[in-house]
Amino acid sequence: MSVLRPQDQLPGLNAATILLVGTEDALLQQLADAMLKEDCASQLKVHLAHSLPLPSNVSRPRIDLIVFLINLHSKYSLQNVEESLHHVDATFFLGKVSFLATGGGGLPRHHGAAPGPHAADLRWPRARRLSPEPAVSAEELREPLPRGPVRAPG
């Protein structure tokens, strides 16, 4: 078992190898098939792995991109990715690793301020900059709106 390093081998000419890592085999295969269907000028190879590390006794091509798939409904999926990250060299994270989260369609959505007792804390810095005096006086608010075109005073 070895750590994946981006510079282990020389890059191939007009070729890219992508490693998909995740716990859901059907989803990995579906993503790989969709990637291979796309028309591109380069040769694309997609490899699937359930987790890292990869066996070190197998000769493998240079890996140009690692995509970690995380199912938002599965703790095991996240734990698998966290454990796999220990087997990836830090230099891979300079543009050669991505994370794809799946299963977010059924999660609750919150609109507006963040829910919970600390929602006001998020607004506090902006509220401090506001003046305590209203921008429009109460008397001006009680006056009826003028009819017709609005003209500048003076």
What is the rounded CA–CA span in Å between residue 4 and residue 1? 9
Q: Which CATH class is domain 15-104?
A: alpha beta
> Predicted confidence band at 108 (pLDDT cuts at 50, 70, 90)?
low
Q: What percent of the chain has pLDDT over 90?
A: 37
Q: Is the pLDDT of residue 62 over 60?
A: yes
- The vertex-18 CA angle with 94 and 47, nearest 5°, equals 140
Query: Is pLDDT at 82 greater than 50 in this prediction?
Result: yes
pLDDT over threshold 60, residue 126:
no
Most confident of the ranges 10-14, 39-43, 73-77, 97-101: 97-101
Which pTM was predicted?
Answer: 0.65
